[in-house]
Structure 1
Amino acid sequence: MTGHHRPDAIAVVDDDPRLRQLIGGYLSQEGYEVFEAENGRSLASILLRRAIDLIVLDVLLPGEDGLSVCRRLRAMGVRTPIIILSAKGEDADKIAGLTMGADDYVCKPVNPRELRARIQAILRRSSPREEPGGPSIANEIVRFGPFEFNLGTRTLRKGDRILGITTVQIAILKVLVRHTGQPLSREKIAQVARGRELGAYDRSLDVQVSRLRRLLEDGAFSYIQTVWGVGYMFDPSGREGVGRHLQASGEAASW
């Protein structure tokens, strides 16, 4: 396990409930927080609402297969480590999985202890986790409109002027810009940005987002879109009504 304040969260995606329970139960006993999904759509729902540290993804899924799910996640910019599970153990199959963006490839039948060892190895290689609201380990700079957000120095500029921004607002904006174009639930934003869950009647996140929007005012543009029934999304184009369109078309709840 990595040494941070919450247990590593693992999503186990397989259409076989017995295998999900076998893997999930073992990983839970080992101290991981496990979320089970039976297909790509269920995984999308989990990723929308939770901060996931690693995905265990079966190839043969109903609907969209696991390799396509993996490729789509990588195309969306999702950097979460992925371990592919497959009954096919030929070199060509393994190469295909790794080419799609998987970090490892494990053949069935699965030995839970071997899977745990591979999970531990991947998480050890992963970038050190940053404190919520803390500086980015890499000196990332995001530019949109007249704004420049430096995640390393935690500064927000509009042209030549440095804007006053609080630590909480930095944390929220960092989560949003790192998931550009991806609708995120209020719960996931709070979990990643602040390192804790939202209470049932906690509206503080919405207050902070409202203040961020005022800070990022640029004429009629809105860089933080509301995705109705889901949460918020960062859109560097600033187009109006994108969030409403996503909700109406059902894209926010799918891929």
Structure 2
Amino acid sequence: MSETAERKHIVVLDDDAKLRLLIGEYLEAHDLRVSAVASGAELTRLLEREPADVVILDVMMPVEDGISVLKRLALKPDAPGILMLSAMASDVDRILGLELGADDYIAKPVNPRELLARVRAVLRRRGPDRSEQAVEDLIRFEGWLADPSSYSLHAPDGSPVDLTTNEFRLLLALLRRPGRVVSRDSLMLDVHGADAEFYDRAVDVGISRLRAKLGQHGGGDLIRTVRGEGYLFVRRA
């Protein structure tokens, strides 16, 4: 295997050329392979040619903002890890990014050492490439079909349900504990890993969106809220 193939591929999407250069040089110096692009369109063309392990994505960009790009990426079954960059550092902004599918969120101005640590944390949480993992069994419930290997969900009528990566991870965490109450902290760990910062509302909003999407196909009552405790995937008789 070549040196290029062995190194993890990181893509930096930011309209600031100087910042792209700074981040790229720092990550390259720490044994990561970096590609830099200035727009969502450039990112799309790049990913069609070559997959990425992590995309570092600026929120505030002209033409297509980072949130729009995030939504597109998170719906892909082979979505890369996504680390958001933003000058907006409020909890609301962090929660929005996390619940839409980002793996992490870091405020500008960027400390290169912190950014490197967070990129490595995302790589650790994601583990080996899915193609290298054993294919996990399909999960069938109430006529639904969930495929953990492709992060896909089909409703009882066979129609696909568009879930973000994090919405699917939330569903999977509940499916693996049917009939048991799962705390918000446990769900946050399952979705974002041990390095995650905890925002209860990120889980609540993610569950709300997941429940709404299930509800469009008659499954809105499959997830029950247990006040003060967490969430439970309902086993029907």
Q: TM-score range by the shorter chain?
A: 0.5 to 0.7
Q: 2:134 aligns with which of 130, 133, 137?
A: 137
Residue 140 (structure 1) shift: 5.7
Q: Which residue identity lines up with residue 77 of structure 1 in the other structure?
A: P
Q: Which residue pairs with 1:206 in the alignment? A: none
Letter of the 1:110 counterpart:
V
Give the residue type in structure 1 aligned to 2:72. Answer: R
Counterpart in the other structure of 1:29: 29
Q: Deviations over 1:174-198 (max 9, x none)?
A: 9xxxxxxxxxxxxxxxxxxxxxxxx
Aligned partners of 1:100 and 1:69: how far apart in 2? Answer: 11
Q: Secondary structure at the match of 1:82?
A: strand
Partner Cα distance (1:108, 1:24) in 2: 16
Query: For the aligned residues, what is the CA RMSD?
Result: 2.7
What is the aligned partner in structure 2 of residue 79 from structure 1?
Answer: 79
Alignment partner of 1:22: what SS?
A: helix
1:98 aligned partner: 98
The alpha carbon displacement at 1:5 in A equals: 5.9
Matched to 1:37, the amino acid is V
Q: Distance in 1 between matches of 2:127 and 2:27?
A: 22
Q: How many residues align?
A: 140
Question: What CA deviation, in whole Å up to 9, does each residue of 1:74-111 have, x standing for no partner?
Answer: 12334211000000011111111112110000000000
After superposition, residues 60-209 of structure 1 pair within 5 angstroms as 60-129=60-129, 136-139=133-136
1:12 alignment partner AA: V
Q: Distance in 2 between matches of 1:17 and 1:126?
A: 28
**Matching residue of 2:192:** none
TM-score by length of 1: 0.50
How far apart are the structure 1 equivalents of 2:137 and 2:72? 24
Deviations 1:40-73 (A, max 9, x none): 0011011001121000000011211001100111
- Residues 128/20 of structure 1: CA separation in 2 closer, same or farther (3 Å cut): same
Distance 1:30 1:114 in 2: 13
Which has the larger displacement, 74-83 or 84-93?
A: 74-83
Q: CA deviation at 1:137?
A: 1.6
- The 1:11–1:51 alpha-carbon spacing in structure 2 relative to 1, beyond 3 Å, is same
Query: What is the SS of the residue equivalent to 1:18?
Result: helix
Q: Give the aligned partner of residue 9 of structure 2.
A: 9
- Partners in 1 of 2:15 and 2:5 — Cα distance? 31
Instruction: Report the secondary structure of 2:27's partner residue.
Output: helix
Q: Give the aligned residue type for 1:48.
A: E
Rounded Cα–Cα distance in structure 1 between residues aligned with 2:23 and 2:94: 21
The aligned residue for residue 55 of structure 1 is 55
Poorly superposed stretches of 4+, deviation over 6 Å: none
Question: For the residues of structure 1 that align with 2:129 and 2:68, how far apart are their CA atoms?
Answer: 28
Closer, same or farther: CA 77–37 of 1 in aligned 2, 3 Å = same
Q: Distance in 2 between matches of 1:84 and 1:112?
A: 14
Q: What secondary structure sits across from 2:98 in the alignment?
A: helix
Q: Which has the larger radius of gyration?
A: 1
Q: Which runs of 5+ in 1 are unaligned?
A: 142-151, 153-173, 175-255
Secondary structure (helix, strand or coil) at the match of 2:68 reads: helix
Which amino acid is the alignment partner of residue 16 of structure 2? D
1:138 Cα shift?
A: 2.5
Deviates more, 1:91-100 or 1:14-23: 91-100
